[in-house]
């Protein structure tokens, strides 16, 4: 039984025309599958169907799974017989908005729905690389569930962009048996050079699994400039593939045997001193620190 998976990252431009963005994603996946018949999983970026910005969220919100973007992803996954991790869209449910990733099976069924747990609310001073203010929490409600989907034999954890800064979430996915975490992202150009690769390699080192991100292509004229650099980091925390800044379609085979190889050779999971951590956590919680 093969433990390999061929996956694609679609680092596409995003315009204010939702139909165009979704068509580009569908056409891109179709073209990649035609050229690479072994392709099993396609991954899109955070907010791949509409501009990313607090002021845009209410205008572009759709329902899940009956909205037009979800329906297009369902159709193409069924037509081509592949899994799709559908980046994210802004989801409307009642009077609430969420940043939501949908995952589709080769039969076109919704097999996972992840609402971004950690909303991107930051304020970086201009001295630190240009400065950036962003407040997702002003418009969106945070998700409260972790999401694990089954892709072939593998359990895959889902996070969205800022979620990758939180090592507790990645650790939970390892505890749940995941061999890969996928973070559709729209990382900011300001923090990109400092933290993008570092965070992915850190999550891969700590948890000894694949970490995969997919970003929109960079558009320097846009209100929010994406970093690009969609990436596959292997369980040794080596960068296996990295896109540049512009529009780029990556197809890569990954080998899940490497997960067990790393875990056997560097058995940190078994070496954890949970007795010590629990004792200290209990002491800290008495002081209201954790
Ligand atoms: N879309 C996001 O969540 C951006 C996260 C980001 O740039 C960060 O620094 O964190």
* Contact present, 32 and 25 (Cβ < 8 Å): no
Question: Is the Cβ–Cβ distance between 8 and 43 less than 8 Å?
Answer: yes
Nearest protein Cα to ligand 1, atom 5 = 162
- The beta-carbon contacts of 150-157 under 8 Å, at least 24 apart in sequence, are 150/111, 151/5, 151/40, 151/41, 151/83, 151/180, 152/5, 152/40, 153/1, 153/3, 153/256, 154/5, 154/178, 154/179, 154/180, 154/256, 155/179, 156/85, 156/180, 156/181, 156/182, 157/181, 157/182
- Report whether 138 contacts 120 (CB < 8 A): no
Query: Per-residue confidence at 83, pLDDT binned at 50, 70, 90?
Result: very high
List, for residues 209-253, the tens digit of each pLDDT value: 999 999 999 999 998 999 999 999 999 999 999 999 999 999 999
- Sequence spans of domains, the chain: 4-286
Q: What is the pLDDT of residues 89-147, one digit of tens each?
A: 999 999 999 999 999 999 999 999 999 999 999 998 886 656 789 999 999 999 999 99
Architecture in CATH of 4-286: 4-Layer Sandwich (3.60)
Phi and psi (nearest 5°) for 9?
-115, 125
| Token output for 169 | 């979430």
Pairing of strands 231-233, 239-242: antiparallel
Burial class (CB in 10 A: 0-12, 13-18, 19+), 177: exposed
With a 6 Å cutoff on the Cβ, whether 104 touches ligand 1 is no
The pLDDT of residue 175 is: 97
56 lines ligand 1 (CB under 6 A): no
Whose alpha carbon is nearest atom 3 of ligand 1?
Answer: 162
Mean pLDDT of the chain: 96
pTM for the full predicted model: 0.97
CA–CA dist 76, 50 (Å, integer) = 19
**Ligand 1 centre and the CA of 234: distance in Å?**
22
Q: Is 268 strand, coil or helix? A: helix
Residue 132's pLDDT is what? 84
pLDDT reported for residue 270: 95
Q: Tell me which of 129 and 153 has the higher pLDDT.
A: 153
Mutate-to-test residue for ligand 1 from 186, 189, 222, highest number of ligand atoms within 8 A of CB: 186
| 113-134: b (≥16 Cβ within 10 Å) or e | bbbbbbbbeeeeeeeeeeebeb
Kindly list the catalytic residues.
46, 116, 161
DSSP 226: B
**Mind giving me the DSSP string for 93-120?**
ETTEEEEEEEEE-TTS-EEEEEE-SS--
**Of 19, 43, 29, the residue nearest 216 (C-alpha):** 43
Residues 6+ apart with CB under 8 A from 91: 61, 62, 63, 64, 97, 98, 99, 100, 115
C-beta atoms surrounding 264 within 10 Å: 9
- Asked if omega into 65 is within 30° of 0 (cis), the reply is yes
Question: How many angstroms is it from 161 CA to the middle of ligand 1?
Answer: 6
Question: Which pLDDT value is given to residue 130?
Answer: 66
CA 117 / ligand 1 centre spacing (Å): 12
Looking at the chain, the whole-number percentage of residues with pLDDT higher than 70 is 98
pLDDT of residue 1: 67
Q: Is the ipTM of this complex over 0.85?
A: yes
Alpha helices (H) in 149-248, listed in sequence order: 167-175, 192-207
Q: How far apart are the first and last CA of the chain?
A: 44
Alpha carbons 205 and 34: distance in angstroms, whole number: 35
Task: Encode pLDDT of 155-167 as tens digits.
Answer: 999 999 999 999 9
């Amino acid at each position: 039984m093969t433990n390999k998976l061929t996956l694609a990252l679609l680092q596409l431009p995003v315009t204010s025309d939702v139909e165009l963005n979704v068509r580009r994603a569908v056409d891109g996946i179709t073209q990649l599958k035609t050229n690479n018949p072994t392709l099993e999983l396609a991954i899109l970026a955070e907010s791949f169907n509409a501009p990313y910005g607090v002021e845009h969220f209410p205008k572009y919100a759709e329902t899940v799974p009956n909205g037009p973007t979800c329906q297009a992803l369902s159709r193409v996954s069924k037509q081509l017989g592949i899994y799709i991790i559908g980046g994210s869209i802004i989801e409307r449910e009642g009077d609430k908005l969420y940043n939501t990733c949908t995952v589709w099976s080769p039969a076109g069924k919704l097999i996972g729905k992840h609402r971004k747990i950690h909303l991107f609310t930051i304020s970086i001073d201009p001295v630190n690389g240009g400065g950036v203010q962003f407040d997702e929490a002003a418009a969106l409600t945070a998700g409260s569930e972790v999401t694990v989907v089954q892709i072939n034999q593998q359990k895959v954890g889902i996070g969205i962009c800022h979620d990758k800064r939180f090592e507790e979430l990645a650790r939970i996915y390892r505890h749940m048996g995941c061999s890969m975490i996928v973070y559709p992202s729209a990382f900011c150009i300001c923090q990109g050079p400092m933290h993008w690769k570092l965070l992915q390699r850190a999550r891969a080192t700590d948890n000894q699994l694949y970490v995969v991100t997919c970003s929109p292509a960079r558009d320097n004229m846009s209100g929010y400039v994406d970093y690009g650099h969609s990436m596959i980091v292997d369980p040794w925390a080596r960068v296996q593939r990295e896109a540049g800044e512009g529009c780029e379609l990556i197809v890569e085979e990954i080998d899940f045997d490497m997960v067990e190889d790393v875990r056997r050779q560097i058995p940190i999971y078994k070496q954890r001193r949970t007795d010590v951590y629990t004792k200290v956590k209990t002491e800290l919680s008495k002081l209201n620190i954790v």
